[in-house]
Amino acid sequence: MKKTAALFAIAALVSTPVLAVNNGGFVDPNAPAASMQQGGFNGPNGSVVTVKQAQDLKDDSWVTLRGNIDKRTGDEDYSFHDASGTMTVEIDHKRWQGLSVSPADNVELQGKLDKDFNSVELDVKSVRKIQ
């Protein structure tokens, strides 16, 4: 019994650094490295639209946006832009899938529009770098 407990304790101590490894997320050049996030999942496909077109669609529409993530504006909120405008996007920590993204990277975001009385936000289900 003591041997099993000792082996279990050693395994836990050895695996601790593995759990601290960075698993991707938005890379803000002005933020400390500790704010990196974990990856996410590939969601359903939506039609490719611009930010301006997305603002005119109905609530809960599935869309794909292509452009750049400029900065982090909250825990899971980011400022996204394309040639037609800017939109707030919400990307859960689990959606990054180990991917690291900087403002210089072109990305494709797939998700569902969340429209309120005076705002439009994209609830992102998939993040992917594009060329």
Tell me the domain boundaries of the chain: 23-129
pTM summary value: 0.66
Mapping DSSP to helix (H, G, I), strand (E, B) and coil, where does residue 103 land?
coil
Mean pLDDT along residues 32-49: 53
Query: Domain 23-129 in CATH: superfamily?
Result: Bacterial OB-fold (2.40.50.200)
Q: Which residues are within 8 A (CB) of 80 and not within 5 positions of it... i.e. 6 or more apart? A: 51, 65, 67, 68, 69, 70, 86, 87, 88, 89, 109, 122
pLDDT of residue 117: 85
Q: Beta strands 107-115 and 120-129: pairing type?
A: antiparallel
What is the band of 41 on the pLDDT scale with cuts at 50, 70, 90? Answer: very low
Comparing 35 with 109, the larger pLDDT belongs to 109
Section 25-51 average pLDDT? 62
User: Long-range contact list for 3-12, CB < 8 A, 24+ apart?
Assistant: none
